[in-house]
Amino acid sequence: MNVTLKPLFEEFVRRKLEAGDFRSADEVVSEASRLLQQQDEQWAVEARAKIDEGWGQAKSRKLRDPEAERENLTARKTAWTAELSAMAADPEVQRELRGVYPDIGCQSACLPQRRVRAKVSP
């Protein structure tokens, strides 16, 4: 399999090789893939635990008030959006993003987002 890396990642791999952390670019990519797989597996474990907790609360009728939960989610979303906007306004982050995503401008919070795997209904 051949993999084409963006210049930012090519430079990162080159620095890792020069530092002697890895013997080849294949090793760097393999380790990155292993870490991504580990992250995905951890996310799945944490999501399952949260689902099980919610299911347990539902079965024991310890549910939260929907309006309070909606307000909580809105506040968390507002804080998260503000954090992303602040990061996107940072010139260093903009330079890095242009290296990774050259086709987009950073006029707004343009950081990559993790796909949400569960939909929350009001």
**How confident is the model over 55-102, as pLDDT tens digits?**
998 888 887 788 888 999 999 999 998 888 888 788 887 777 676 665
* Residue-wise DSSP of 50-89: HHHHHHHHHHTT-PPPHHHHHHHHHHHHHHHHHHHHHHHH
Looking at the structure, tell me whether residues 41 and 85 fall in a common domain: no
Q: Which of 48, 53, 43 is nearest to 114 (CA)?
A: 43
Number of domains observed in the structure of the chain: 2
- Check residue 87 and give its pLDDT: 82
- Check residue 73 and give its pLDDT: 93
Q: How much is the pTM?
A: 0.50
- Check residue 92 and give its pLDDT: 80
Looking at the structure, tell me whether residues 41 and 83 fall in a common domain: no
24 close to 17: Cβ distance less than 8 angstroms: yes
Domain of residue 90, residue span: 64-102
Looking at the structure, tell me whether residues 5 and 59 fall in a common domain: yes
Residue 15 belongs to some domain of the structure: yes
- Check residue 37 and give its pLDDT: 96
- Check residue 111 and give its pLDDT: 47
